[in-house]
A and B are shown apart, each in its own frame.
Chain A
Protein backbone atom coordinates (compact mmCIF):
# COMPACT_ATOMS: atom_id res chain seq x y z
CA UNK A 1 0.00 0.00 0.00
CA UNK A 2 2.96 2.29 0.61
CA UNK A 3 4.00 1.54 -2.95
CA UNK A 4 0.55 2.42 -4.21
CA UNK A 5 0.47 5.64 -2.26
CA UNK A 6 3.89 6.68 -3.56
CA UNK A 7 2.79 6.13 -7.15
CA UNK A 8 -0.38 8.13 -6.44
CA UNK A 9 1.49 10.99 -4.79
CA UNK A 10 3.94 11.17 -7.69
CA UNK A 11 1.09 11.33 -10.21
CA UNK A 12 -0.74 13.97 -8.23
CA UNK A 13 2.40 16.04 -7.96
CA UNK A 14 3.01 15.81 -11.70
CA UNK A 15 -0.48 17.31 -12.18
CA UNK A 16 0.14 20.03 -9.59
CA UNK A 17 -2.78 18.68 -7.61
CA UNK A 18 -3.12 19.57 -3.95
CA UNK A 19 -5.63 16.92 -2.95
CA UNK A 20 -6.42 13.32 -3.88
CA UNK A 21 -10.15 12.67 -3.56
CA UNK A 22 -10.49 9.20 -4.93
CA UNK A 23 -8.21 6.32 -5.72
CA UNK A 24 -9.13 3.26 -7.75
CA UNK A 25 -7.29 -0.05 -7.85
CA UNK A 26 -7.66 -3.34 -9.67
CA UNK A 27 -6.80 -6.38 -7.61
CA UNK A 28 -6.71 -9.87 -9.06
CA UNK A 29 -8.33 -12.71 -7.14
CA UNK A 30 -5.03 -14.58 -7.36
CA UNK A 31 -2.81 -11.63 -6.43
CA UNK A 32 -2.55 -12.75 -2.86
CA UNK A 33 -3.71 -9.34 -1.75
CA UNK A 34 -6.60 -9.24 0.67
CA UNK A 35 -8.82 -6.24 -0.19
CA UNK A 36 -9.77 -5.75 3.47
CA UNK A 37 -6.13 -5.55 4.43
CA UNK A 38 -5.49 -3.00 1.69
CA UNK A 39 -8.29 -0.78 2.89
CA UNK A 40 -6.98 -0.92 6.38
CA UNK A 41 -3.47 -0.06 5.25
CA UNK A 42 -4.83 2.70 3.05
CA UNK A 43 -6.24 4.54 6.05
CA UNK A 44 -2.98 4.19 7.93
CA UNK A 45 -0.53 5.18 5.22
CA UNK A 46 -2.54 8.12 3.88
CA UNK A 47 -2.70 9.87 7.25
CA UNK A 48 -1.09 13.27 7.02
CA UNK A 49 -0.82 13.13 3.22
CA UNK A 50 -2.87 14.82 0.51
CA UNK A 51 -4.71 11.50 0.11
CA UNK A 52 -6.02 11.47 3.66
CA UNK A 53 -9.76 10.82 3.70
CA UNK A 54 -9.88 9.94 0.01
CA UNK A 55 -12.39 7.40 -1.23
CA UNK A 56 -10.82 4.08 -1.98
CA UNK A 57 -12.29 1.71 -4.53
CA UNK A 58 -11.13 -1.78 -5.34
CA UNK A 59 -12.20 -3.53 -8.50
CA UNK A 60 -11.64 -7.27 -8.27
CA UNK A 61 -10.34 -9.04 -11.33
CA UNK A 62 -11.41 -12.68 -11.73
CA UNK A 63 -8.98 -15.43 -12.61
CA UNK A 64 -8.86 -16.43 -16.28
CA UNK A 65 -6.96 -19.57 -17.26
CA UNK A 66 -5.80 -20.92 -20.57
CA UNK A 67 -6.06 -24.55 -21.60
CA UNK A 68 -3.25 -25.34 -24.05
CA UNK A 69 -4.92 -28.54 -25.21
CA UNK A 70 -8.17 -26.87 -26.25
CA UNK A 71 -6.42 -23.57 -26.93
CA UNK A 72 -9.05 -21.53 -25.18
CA UNK A 73 -9.54 -19.41 -22.10
CA UNK A 74 -11.91 -20.18 -19.29
CA UNK A 75 -12.93 -18.82 -15.92
CA UNK A 76 -12.32 -21.56 -13.35
CA UNK A 77 -15.14 -22.59 -11.04
CA UNK A 78 -12.88 -22.97 -8.01
CA UNK A 79 -9.23 -22.96 -7.01
CA UNK A 80 -8.59 -26.04 -9.11
CA UNK A 81 -8.08 -24.75 -12.58
CA UNK A 82 -9.87 -27.48 -14.48
CA UNK A 83 -10.72 -26.91 -18.12
CA UNK A 84 -14.52 -27.27 -18.44
CA UNK A 85 -13.97 -28.80 -21.88
CA UNK A 86 -11.27 -31.48 -21.46
CA UNK A 87 -11.11 -31.53 -17.63
CA UNK A 88 -7.36 -31.13 -17.54
CA UNK A 89 -5.81 -28.99 -14.79
CA UNK A 90 -3.83 -26.06 -16.09
CA UNK A 91 -1.08 -23.94 -14.55
CA UNK A 92 -1.48 -21.26 -17.25
CA UNK A 93 -2.98 -18.11 -15.83
CA UNK A 94 -4.00 -15.26 -18.11
CA UNK A 95 -5.24 -12.77 -15.55
CA UNK A 96 -6.11 -12.52 -11.90
CA UNK A 97 -2.65 -11.76 -10.56
CA UNK A 98 -2.64 -8.01 -11.09
CA UNK A 99 -2.33 -5.34 -8.45
CA UNK A 100 -2.74 -2.05 -10.23
CA UNK A 101 -3.44 1.58 -9.49
CA UNK A 102 -6.04 2.42 -12.14
CA UNK A 103 -6.97 6.05 -11.61
CA UNK A 104 -6.99 9.03 -9.32
CA UNK A 105 -9.38 11.90 -8.85
CA UNK A 106 -7.54 15.02 -7.84
CA UNK A 107 -7.98 18.75 -7.55
Chain B
Protein backbone atom coordinates (compact mmCIF):
# COMPACT_ATOMS: atom_id res chain seq x y z
CA UNK B 1 0.00 0.00 0.00
CA UNK B 2 1.13 3.52 -0.73
CA UNK B 3 0.83 5.26 2.62
CA UNK B 4 0.67 8.65 0.95
CA UNK B 5 -2.66 8.04 -0.66
CA UNK B 6 -3.60 4.77 0.97
CA UNK B 7 -4.16 3.09 -2.34
CA UNK B 8 -3.49 -0.52 -3.00
CA UNK B 9 -0.80 -0.61 -5.64
CA UNK B 10 -1.03 -4.26 -6.48
CA UNK B 11 -3.33 -5.36 -9.23
CA UNK B 12 -4.66 -3.69 -12.26
CA UNK B 13 -6.97 -0.88 -13.32
CA UNK B 14 -9.45 -0.82 -10.42
CA UNK B 15 -6.39 0.04 -8.39
CA UNK B 16 -8.30 1.71 -5.66
CA UNK B 17 -9.86 -1.37 -4.23
CA UNK B 18 -9.71 -0.77 -0.56
CA UNK B 19 -10.43 -3.89 1.33
CA UNK B 20 -11.97 -2.41 4.43
CA UNK B 21 -13.09 -5.98 5.15
CA UNK B 22 -9.65 -7.33 5.92
CA UNK B 23 -9.66 -6.99 9.66
CA UNK B 24 -9.93 -3.27 9.32
CA UNK B 25 -12.75 -1.58 11.09
CA UNK B 26 -13.18 2.02 12.00
CA UNK B 27 -13.68 1.71 15.69
CA UNK B 28 -12.08 4.98 16.60
CA UNK B 29 -13.96 4.99 19.89
CA UNK B 30 -11.85 2.42 21.63
CA UNK B 31 -9.15 3.82 23.82
CA UNK B 32 -10.23 7.36 23.30
CA UNK B 33 -12.87 8.70 25.60
CA UNK B 34 -13.73 12.31 25.94
CA UNK B 35 -12.92 12.55 29.62
CA UNK B 36 -10.42 15.33 29.54
CA UNK B 37 -12.14 17.66 27.14
CA UNK B 38 -11.09 20.63 29.26
CA UNK B 39 -7.44 20.11 28.40
CA UNK B 40 -8.01 19.64 24.67
CA UNK B 41 -6.86 22.41 22.48
CA UNK B 42 -7.74 23.00 18.87
CA UNK B 43 -5.01 24.18 16.55
CA UNK B 44 -5.95 25.70 13.23
CA UNK B 45 -3.43 24.41 10.70
CA UNK B 46 -4.72 25.24 7.22
CA UNK B 47 -1.79 23.78 5.38
CA UNK B 48 -1.85 22.23 1.93
CA UNK B 49 -0.66 18.69 2.26
CA UNK B 50 1.19 18.63 -1.04
CA UNK B 51 2.84 22.00 -0.45
CA UNK B 52 6.26 20.42 -0.17
CA UNK B 53 5.97 18.54 -3.43
CA UNK B 54 4.60 21.65 -5.14
CA UNK B 55 7.57 23.72 -3.97
CA UNK B 56 9.99 21.08 -5.20
CA UNK B 57 8.09 20.93 -8.49
CA UNK B 58 8.63 24.66 -8.95
CA UNK B 59 12.31 24.17 -8.24
CA UNK B 60 12.43 21.39 -10.86
CA UNK B 61 10.63 23.63 -13.33
CA UNK B 62 13.19 26.39 -12.86
CA UNK B 63 16.05 23.95 -13.19
CA UNK B 64 14.64 22.41 -16.36
CA UNK B 65 13.93 25.85 -17.80
CA UNK B 66 17.53 26.88 -17.23
CA UNK B 67 18.56 23.80 -19.21
CA UNK B 68 16.12 24.68 -22.04
CA UNK B 69 14.49 21.31 -21.65
CA UNK B 70 11.00 20.40 -22.74
CA UNK B 71 9.72 18.09 -20.00
CA UNK B 72 6.85 15.65 -20.47
CA UNK B 73 5.06 13.73 -17.73
CA UNK B 74 3.57 10.66 -19.42
CA UNK B 75 0.70 8.98 -17.62
CA UNK B 76 -1.72 6.14 -18.18
CA UNK B 77 -3.18 3.00 -16.70
CA UNK B 78 -0.82 0.02 -16.55
CA UNK B 79 -0.18 -1.38 -20.01
CA UNK B 80 -1.69 1.40 -22.13
CA UNK B 81 1.50 1.55 -24.16
CA UNK B 82 3.65 4.30 -22.61
CA UNK B 83 6.92 2.44 -23.04
CA UNK B 84 6.11 1.29 -26.57
CA UNK B 85 5.17 4.86 -27.52
CA UNK B 86 8.42 6.23 -26.13
CA UNK B 87 10.50 3.48 -27.76
CA UNK B 88 8.99 4.35 -31.11
CA UNK B 89 9.52 8.05 -30.56
CA UNK B 90 13.19 7.63 -29.65
CA UNK B 91 13.81 5.34 -32.64
CA UNK B 92 12.14 7.77 -35.03
CA UNK B 93 13.41 11.14 -33.83
CA UNK B 94 15.95 10.47 -31.08
CA UNK B 95 18.91 11.26 -33.30
CA UNK B 96 17.40 14.63 -34.25
CA UNK B 97 15.89 15.50 -30.90
CA UNK B 98 18.08 14.14 -28.11
CA UNK B 99 15.74 12.64 -25.54
CA UNK B 100 16.33 11.40 -22.01
CA UNK B 101 13.84 9.25 -20.17
CA UNK B 102 13.13 8.78 -16.48
CA UNK B 103 10.94 5.78 -15.94
CA UNK B 104 9.06 5.01 -12.77
CA UNK B 105 7.95 1.49 -11.98
CA UNK B 106 6.83 -0.26 -8.85
CA UNK B 107 9.30 -3.07 -9.15
CA UNK B 108 11.06 -4.15 -12.29
CA UNK B 109 13.45 -2.30 -14.53
CA UNK B 110 12.15 -3.95 -17.72
CA UNK B 111 10.92 -0.65 -19.11
CA UNK B 112 14.27 1.02 -18.56
CA UNK B 113 16.03 -1.86 -20.33
CA UNK B 114 13.64 -1.60 -23.28
CA UNK B 115 14.05 2.17 -23.49
CA UNK B 116 17.81 2.18 -23.28
CA UNK B 117 17.89 -0.48 -26.00
CA UNK B 118 16.00 1.97 -28.19
CA UNK B 119 18.87 4.41 -27.72
CA UNK B 120 17.63 6.88 -25.13
CA UNK B 121 19.55 7.89 -22.04
CA UNK B 122 17.42 6.26 -19.38
CA UNK B 123 17.16 6.33 -15.61
CA UNK B 124 14.93 3.99 -13.67
CA UNK B 125 13.12 4.89 -10.48
CA UNK B 126 11.79 1.87 -8.64
CA UNK B 127 9.13 3.15 -6.30
CA UNK B 128 8.45 -0.05 -4.35
CA UNK B 129 5.12 0.57 -2.68
CA UNK B 130 4.67 4.18 -3.79
CA UNK B 131 2.12 4.42 -6.57
CA UNK B 132 3.31 7.68 -8.12
CA UNK B 133 6.45 9.72 -8.72
CA UNK B 134 7.23 12.81 -6.67
CA UNK B 135 9.34 15.84 -7.50
CA UNK B 136 12.32 14.97 -5.35
CA UNK B 137 12.63 11.51 -6.95
CA UNK B 138 12.55 13.12 -10.38
CA UNK B 139 15.26 15.62 -9.55
CA UNK B 140 17.57 12.92 -8.21
CA UNK B 141 17.03 10.85 -11.34
CA UNK B 142 17.44 13.84 -13.67
CA UNK B 143 20.82 14.62 -12.16
CA UNK B 144 22.06 11.27 -13.38
CA UNK B 145 21.47 12.38 -16.96
CA UNK B 146 23.61 14.74 -18.97
CA UNK B 147 20.83 17.29 -19.30
CA UNK B 148 22.91 19.77 -21.28
CA UNK B 149 22.92 17.33 -24.15
CA UNK B 150 19.15 16.81 -24.13
CA UNK B 151 16.29 18.70 -25.76
CA UNK B 152 13.51 16.62 -24.30
CA UNK B 153 13.18 14.94 -20.94
CA UNK B 154 10.36 12.42 -20.66
CA UNK B 155 9.10 11.08 -17.36
CA UNK B 156 7.21 7.81 -17.74
CA UNK B 157 5.15 7.80 -14.56
CA UNK B 158 3.97 4.73 -12.69
CA UNK B 159 1.02 3.09 -14.46
CA UNK B 160 -1.89 4.60 -12.52
CA UNK B 161 -4.50 7.16 -13.55
CA UNK B 162 -5.45 8.24 -10.05
CA UNK B 163 -2.75 9.26 -7.62
CA UNK B 164 -0.06 10.66 -9.96
CA UNK B 165 -2.58 13.32 -11.00
CA UNK B 166 -2.03 15.12 -7.68
CA UNK B 167 1.75 15.32 -8.01
CA UNK B 168 3.25 18.08 -10.10
CA UNK B 169 6.75 17.06 -11.16
CA UNK B 170 7.75 20.35 -12.74
CA UNK B 171 6.80 19.20 -16.22
CA UNK B 172 5.82 21.45 -19.13
CA UNK B 173 3.26 19.08 -20.56
CA UNK B 174 1.15 16.34 -19.13
CA UNK B 175 0.57 13.61 -21.66
CA UNK B 176 -2.14 11.09 -20.83
CA UNK B 177 -2.43 7.88 -22.83
CA UNK B 178 -5.58 5.90 -23.30
CA UNK B 179 -5.50 2.74 -25.38
CA UNK B 180 -8.38 1.64 -27.58
CA UNK B 181 -8.63 -1.58 -25.58
CA UNK B 182 -9.62 0.34 -22.44
CA UNK B 183 -12.93 1.53 -23.80
CA UNK B 184 -14.45 4.89 -24.69
CA UNK B 185 -15.64 5.67 -21.17
CA UNK B 186 -12.24 5.75 -19.56
CA UNK B 187 -11.98 9.57 -19.58
CA UNK B 188 -15.24 9.77 -17.64
CA UNK B 189 -13.85 7.59 -14.89
CA UNK B 190 -10.69 9.60 -14.25
CA UNK B 191 -11.72 13.27 -14.29
CA UNK B 192 -8.79 14.57 -12.25
CA UNK B 193 -6.24 13.08 -14.57
CA UNK B 194 -7.92 14.09 -17.82
CA UNK B 195 -8.62 17.62 -16.64
CA UNK B 196 -4.94 18.11 -15.89
CA UNK B 197 -3.73 16.91 -19.32
CA UNK B 198 -2.36 19.16 -22.06
CA UNK B 199 -2.17 16.21 -24.42
CA UNK B 200 -4.33 13.10 -24.66
CA UNK B 201 -3.06 10.26 -26.81
CA UNK B 202 -5.31 7.46 -27.98
CA UNK B 203 -2.88 4.56 -28.36
CA UNK B 204 -2.92 1.15 -30.10
CA UNK B 205 -5.26 2.37 -32.85
CA UNK B 206 -4.12 -0.60 -34.96
CA UNK B 207 -6.35 -2.64 -32.62
CA UNK B 208 -9.34 -0.30 -32.88
CA UNK B 209 -11.30 -2.41 -35.32
CA UNK B 210 -10.65 -5.68 -33.51
CA UNK B 211 -12.00 -4.31 -30.24
CA UNK B 212 -14.81 -2.34 -31.95
CA UNK B 213 -13.53 0.91 -30.57
CA UNK B 214 -16.09 3.70 -30.90
CA UNK B 215 -13.81 6.50 -32.02
CA UNK B 216 -16.42 9.25 -32.17
CA UNK B 217 -17.65 8.48 -28.71
CA UNK B 218 -14.11 8.43 -27.31
CA UNK B 219 -13.25 11.77 -28.91
CA UNK B 220 -16.45 13.28 -27.62
CA UNK B 221 -15.74 12.07 -24.08
CA UNK B 222 -12.20 13.40 -24.16
CA UNK B 223 -13.30 16.78 -25.52
CA UNK B 224 -15.95 17.12 -22.85
CA UNK B 225 -13.72 16.01 -20.03
CA UNK B 226 -10.57 17.78 -21.21
CA UNK B 227 -11.55 20.69 -23.49
CA UNK B 228 -8.03 22.12 -23.05
CA UNK B 229 -6.20 19.05 -24.40
CA UNK B 230 -4.75 18.40 -27.83
CA UNK B 231 -5.65 14.90 -28.99
CA UNK B 232 -3.52 12.49 -31.02
CA UNK B 233 -4.41 9.03 -32.27
CA UNK B 234 -1.43 6.75 -32.67
CA UNK B 235 -0.16 3.23 -33.12
CA UNK B 236 3.33 2.69 -31.78
CA UNK B 237 3.34 -0.67 -33.51
CA UNK B 238 2.37 0.52 -37.00
CA UNK B 239 3.44 4.14 -36.74
CA UNK B 240 0.11 5.82 -37.57
CA UNK B 241 -0.28 9.29 -36.11
CA UNK B 242 3.30 9.55 -34.88
CA UNK B 243 4.25 12.24 -37.40
CA UNK B 244 1.55 14.56 -36.10
CA UNK B 245 2.83 14.04 -32.57
CA UNK B 246 6.41 14.82 -33.63
CA UNK B 247 5.20 18.02 -35.22
CA UNK B 248 3.57 19.08 -31.98
CA UNK B 249 6.67 18.18 -30.01
CA UNK B 250 8.88 20.15 -32.38
CA UNK B 251 6.71 23.23 -31.87
CA UNK B 252 7.07 23.00 -28.12
CA UNK B 253 10.85 22.55 -28.01
CA UNK B 254 12.72 25.16 -25.99
CA UNK B 255 15.74 25.07 -28.25
CA UNK B 256 15.89 24.40 -31.98
CA UNK B 257 17.42 21.03 -32.82
CA UNK B 258 20.24 22.59 -34.85
CA UNK B 259 21.50 24.60 -31.90
CA UNK B 260 22.03 21.51 -29.81
CA UNK B 261 25.54 21.35 -28.43
CA UNK B 262 27.12 18.06 -29.33
Chain A residues closer than 8 Å to B32, beta-carbon distance: 21, 53-55
- B6 with A42: CB separation less than 8 A: yes
Chain A facing B: main interface SS: mixed
A27 to chain B: closest CB distance in Å? 9
> Residue among A30, A32, A53, A103 with the most chain B CB within 10 A?
A32
Q: Do residues B4 and A31 form an inter-chain contact, with CB atoms below 8 A?
A: no
A-B residue pairs, 8 tightest by C-beta: A41-B6, A32-B192, A37-B6, A91-B228, A32-B165, A89-B227, A80-B224, A79-B191
Partner of A3, one of B4, B18, B31: B4
Chain A minimum-CB-distance residue to B164: A32
Number of residues of chain A lying within 8 A (CB) of chain B: 47
Q: Does A106 contact B (CB under 8 A)?
A: yes
Give residues 15-68 of A contacting B (CB, 8 Å). 15, 17, 21, 25, 30-34, 36-45, 53-56
> A69 near B: Cβ within 8 Å?
no
Whether a CB of chain A sits under 8 angstroms from the CB of B49 is yes
Q: Distance in Å from the Cβ of A32 to the closest Cβ of chain B? A: 4
Question: Which chain A residue lies CB-closest to B193?
Answer: A32
Q: Give the distance in Å from the alpha carbon of A80 to the alpha carbon of B224 in the complex.
A: 6
Known: A11-B43, A54-B28. A34 touches B192 (CB 8 A): no
Closest to A63 in B: B191
Is A73 an interface residue, CB under 8 A from the partner?
A: no
Check A102 for interface membership: any CB of B closer than 8 A.
Answer: yes
CB distance from A98 to the nearest CB of B (A): 7
Q: Could you tell me if A30 and B16 are in contact, using CB atoms closer than 8 angstroms?
A: no
Residues of A close to B152: CB separation below 8 A = none
Residues of A within 8 A of B30 (CB): 53
Interface size bracket, B side: 35 or more
The chain B residue with its CB closest to the CB of A56 is: B28
Please name all residues of chain B whose beta carbon is closer than 8 Å to the beta carbon of A8 when the two chains form the complex: 45
Tell me, rounded to whole Å, the shortest Cβ–Cβ distance linking B22 to chain A.
Answer: 10
* Cross-chain pairs A/B with CB under 8 angstroms, 28 sampled: A1-B3, A15-B41, A30-B191, A30-B195, A31-B192, A32-B162, A36-B6, A36-B18, A40-B18, A40-B24, A41-B1, A53-B28, A53-B30, A53-B31, A54-B32, A79-B191, A80-B224, A89-B223, A91-B195, A91-B227, A98-B48, A99-B166, A100-B46, A100-B48, A102-B46, A104-B43, A105-B43, A106-B43
Chain A residues proximal to chain B, CB less than 8 Å:
1-4, 7-8, 11-12, 15, 17, 21, 25, 30-34, 36-45, 53-56, 79-80, 89-91, 93, 98-107
Query: Contacts of A104 on B, CB cut-off 8 Å?
Result: 42-43, 45
The yes or no answer to B262 lying at the interface (CB within 8 A) is no
Q: A8-B45, A43-B24, A89-B223 are in contact. List 18 more A-B contacts (CB 8 A).
A: A2-B3, A3-B49, A15-B43, A17-B41, A30-B192, A31-B192, A32-B165, A37-B7, A40-B1, A40-B24, A41-B6, A79-B191, A90-B227, A91-B226, A91-B227, A101-B46, A102-B45, A103-B43
With beta carbons under 8 angstroms apart, the residue of A4, A44, A80, A89 that contacts B1 is A44
Is the pair A32, B43 in contact by a Cβ cutoff of 8 Å? no
B41-72 with Cβ < 8 A to chain A: 41-50, 52-53
A40 and B20 contact, CB distance less than 8 A: yes
